[in-house]
Amino acid sequence: MNTTKLAACIDIGSNRLRMVIGQSDKSGKIKIIEELRQDTGIGRDTFTFGRIRPETLRDVCSSLDNFSKKLAEYGIENCKAVATSGIREAENSLFVVDQIRAKTGFDVDIINNAEERFLTFKGIRYYIPQSENLMKKCVLVVNIGSGGLEISTFSEGRLKFTHYLKSGTLRLRELLADVENMTLNFPSIMEEYVDETLRGVKNEIRHLEIEECIALGSGIRSISSLCATQKSGERNETIQRDEVFRLYSEVFAKTTTQISKAYNLDYKDAEIMLPSIMIFKKMLEMTKAEAMNAPWVSLRHGLLVEIMDKSSGADSGSGFGEDVLSSVRYIADRFGVERRHSEYVERMAVSIFNQTKKLHRLKKEHRLYLQVAALLHDVGKAISHENHSLFSYDIIKAQNIIGFSNRETEIIANVAMSHGEEDYCTREWRIANLGFEDQVVVAKLAAILKIADSLDKSHLQKIDEIKIACKNDTVIFKVKSKRDTFLEKWMLAKKCGLFEEVMGTKVMIKTRGDSFEE
């Protein structure tokens, strides 16, 4: 009996289409058995013209047909295809995805950069076991794509913050193409542009004592091949700081053609060498790291793990929730949210969620949405205290929180927006871009968040514990407190209407010593 499973995933990037085929054994260990790639002009079209041209789309479909033949050779049916910034930012992205489906049969999922980040980190944690120890230090992760640059920091094993900049290697090349033809000093002009682009990030991380650096993405394979490296694990190399600086000095003085000839690189690889090594060098200079870790891992490897997890019911991303909450707390701090209040509301919301499962019938992932909404529900006060919940919605929508799709972010933002006395989540014009089931999820989570927020109306964290009991058609909130909770009880009475409506029950609050009997 064959106890192995085959699966594949396709990453439709800005510069290349890549497919990875993997096999899991009976113990669940995943082995990569083949990787394929095809060049594409998607990014050049999108970053230059704003849309993908028909001839480029035809080439993409032809490449995908080749991938399809390879899948047939292996007999693989479990395959997922995703697209990143090249298609995501194209004005005609919907038509492109529709044409790919019609001509190749691949149903392409356009993911946002927060989902890209999650899949990349999932791949690192799975394929680079030593990364767990590495990330217990203060670590800078630099992931350069063709379309964007993502910079993240980890400390004590948890994600702290992430910045996404539209400054990928191919985008920089296309953006500065005219300048290159106008001056012989192009590398210096690019360096000035990159310095300005990274200025905000540099200001944000300069107070951190960054000990390690992880380099991912565009150009890192070519850079590794041109530097003296040390193997550290099956899929990881380290490049010494001096080697990075040496290669940068050499590349800086060469044109793309000269780089291609000097290092025997494909022209496409040579074209992105200067912006790649420049960004890695600039980021390395912001750290105390003596070397740069270069794992042989990317988005597609994390996607393969995700596919295998879903088919087997396993969960190799158990730390994901903690990474999300850690990064969300950083966002809250950045906007001046009162941490004691927000974390108290989160704790109360989780307690209510866990004790009312039979009423709301929601899933585990919905609890994480609730936690994020609770931690960020007051973030809009950074703009205005009046109608701050509306501003909370806008700020949350703009954050690109790790791992959440645009749809999930929309749900979280709507829940946070509805924490006040206004029931925004019941107004169709507010949640019209969510499906019916998601609208119900928003209403239920918002109902819980309203009550949790009411229980700290004074912002004094008076209530030590809450126990919930159901009696007939009434939900009884019994609170334990040694202090006067009149304000909290009054506010709960004002804000419990949505809970009663969506859960189909009445709400009653009791303090310790009160009888359950009326």
Does residue 503 lie within any of the structural domains? no
> 83: closest CA among 52, 53, 55, 54?
52
Within a domain: 457: yes
Q: What is the CATH number of the domain that holds 11?
A: 3.30.420.40
Rounded Cα distance, 279 and 281, in Å: 5
- How far is CA 109 from each of CA 35, 71, 79, 369, rounded to the nearest angstrom? 20, 18, 12, 21
284 and 326 in a single domain? The answer is no
pLDDT in tens, 166-200: 899 999 988 898 888 888 889 999 999 999 999 99
Residue 235: give its domain's CATH number: 3.30.420.150
For 104-119, give the secondary structure using H, E and C: HCCCEEECCHHHHHHH
The count of structural domains within the chain is 3
**For residues 269 and 272, what is the distance between their CA atoms, to the nearest angstrom?**
6
CA gap 200, 13 in Å, rounded = 27
Residue 146's nearest CA partner among 122, 121, 173, 164 is 173
What's the domain range around 448?
Answer: 320-461
Whether 102 is covered by a domain: the verdict is: yes
Q: Which of 476, 484, 488 is nearest to 518 (CA)?
A: 476
pLDDT tens-digit series, residues 2-11: 456 899 999 9
Residue among 286, 308, 270 at smallest CA distance from 211: 286
Query: What pLDDT was estimated at residue 140?
Result: 93
**Residues 326 and 283 both lie in one domain:** no
**Does residue 143 sit in the same domain as residue 254?**
yes
Q: What mean pLDDT comes out for the span 21-48?
A: 91
SS3 436: helix
Going by pLDDT thresholds of 50, 70 and 90, the confidence category of residue 131 is: confident
Q: Is residue 404 part of a domain?
A: yes
Q: Domain boundary residue among 48, 81, 112?
A: 112
* pLDDT tens-digit readout, 367-418: 999 999 999 999 999 999 888 988 999 999 998 898 899 999 999 999 999 8
145 and 34 within one domain: no
Among 56, 87, 112, the domain-final residue is 112
- Specify the pairing of strand 229-231 against strand 158-165: unpaired
480 falls within a domain: no
**Which residues are CB-contacts of 281 (< 8 A; sequence separation ≥ 6)?**
244, 245, 248
Looking at the domain assignment, is residue 22 inside a domain? yes
Judge whether 303 lies within some domain.
no
Q: Are residues 76 and 142 in the same domain?
A: no
Q: Decide if 513 is inside a domain.
A: no
